[in-house]
Amino acid sequence: MNIRKRMLRLVTLTLPVLGLIASSTVRAETVIPLATWGSPNHVCNRVFVSSLERALKERAPKTIQFQLFPGGQLGQDKDMPTAIPLGKVKFGWITVNGWTGVVPDTKVMDAPTGLTMEALDVLVEKPNGLLAVLKKRFAEKNTALLALADLGPPAIVSNVPILSPTDLKGKKVRVFSAGQVEAVRLLGGSPVNIAFAEVYTAMQRGTVDAAIIGFQGVDSQKMYEVSKYVLVPASFLGTTMMGWAANLQWLNAMPPRDRKVFLESVRKADLDTKKAINGEIDGMAQGYRQRGMTVTFLNPKMKEYSAWRDATRPLLEKAKTQLSPEVAALIAPPK
């Protein structure tokens, strides 16, 4: 066989192999780059991230690649309201309360709605509920709001029982938001701005009589060593809402099948995270009680609930004027 024939035979044998290789690499992987910040032990990092990665691997192990950028590598929480719409962050964990300058309807998280965590979960998930409305508002800012998870209302820690709003009258109360300043003043207290890391010392020294702090912060700041009572006043002092959001153009450019898998996986991780948050709060409450604290979760069956509702009504009415009619209607008290 001459050289020419041998070369033709080699080409003939090689082409199918090259074609097979080419066909296997025609479609590039879809990369899901999740940007997070804060402690890796936070429930929204610990549970959501692992659940999402597991769900993606189960549903699309060959076409979707998950990448995690923790610890603020791509952006801190404060950066997300601009980084996600601009596409600097494709997919990130957010504190919804921090988007008020971009999406005004997120101010609803700071409104004194009086919703318990259970009621807020219903409001988020129901058809045409809070998630559905906020999705439309975020989309106007080139952002896809994919999920919401309520961390729960802040707590009031003190060394004397505080159940009714009148119990705050004349007391110096640590606050950490403008809405809380307004609420404490309305209820006859004196708001004091104190950094999170200094709350323990302030309570220990009597700088303040009570402190508004995240329920999880009661544990991390060891408030059980310097206070005896914990009240979670439903959402009359607002609530902390976390979420996960993506750049809308990036999401829409994703291959349809991969986008479907991605959204299904986010939903699975969201549900797992909500379950973990509720379990964590129950466990913490039990732990606080074991350390000698009296823990009370305000609910509509308690007589004090009506007192909180009536006392904060002016703030709720004011808050509704700053929201769209759709969101204002969602938080309107029942007639």
Global pTM reads: 0.86
Query: Is a pLDDT exceeding 50 seen at residue 238?
Result: yes
Q: What is the pLDDT of residues 113-139, one digit of tens each?
A: 999 999 999 999 999 999 999 999 999
- Round to whole Å and give the CA distance between 186 and 169: 9
Tell me whether residue 5 is in a domain.
no
Tell me whether residue 23 is in a domain.
no
| Helical spans, DSSP H, in the chain | 3-24, 43-59, 80-86, 117-125, 130-139, 178-186, 199-205, 217-220, 248-252, 256-290, 303-320, 325-330
Query: Is a pLDDT exceeding 90 seen at residue 324?
Result: yes
196 shares its domain with 113: no
Tell me whether residue 218 is in a domain.
yes
Which percentage of the chain shows pLDDT scores above 90? 87
Q: What is the pLDDT of residues 205-216, one digit of tens each?
A: 999 999 999 999
pLDDT at 21: 45
Tell me whether residue 20 is in a domain.
no
Q: What is the pLDDT of residues 179-205, one digit of tens each?
A: 899 999 999 999 999 998 899 999 999
Question: Which CATH number characterizes residue 85's domain?
Answer: 3.40.190.170
- Round to whole Å and give the CA distance between 89 and 148: 18
Beta-carbon count within 10 A of 291 CB: 14
- The structure tokens 């404060």 sit at 78
Total count of domains within the chain: 2
Average pLDDT for 22-36: 73
pLDDT at 17: 46
Tell me whether residue 51 is in a domain.
yes
Pick from 93, 44, 40, 96: nearest CA to 273:
44
Owning domain of residue 126: 28-151+240-283
Residue 39's pLDDT band (boundaries 50, 70, 90)?
confident
Tell me whether residue 226 is in a domain.
yes
Q: What angle do CA 267, 106, 87 make, to 5 degrees?
A: 65
308 shares its domain with 254: no
249 shares its domain with 147: yes
Query: Is a pLDDT exceeding 80 seen at residue 150?
Result: yes
212 shares its domain with 279: no
DSSP 3-state assignment of 131?
helix
Average pLDDT for 77-82: 96
Tell me whether residue 294 is in a domain.
yes
Average pLDDT, the chain: 91
Pick from 245, 171, 179: nearest CA to 208:
171
Tell me whether residue 80 is in a domain.
yes
pLDDT at 332: 80
- The structure tokens 């973990």 sit at 276
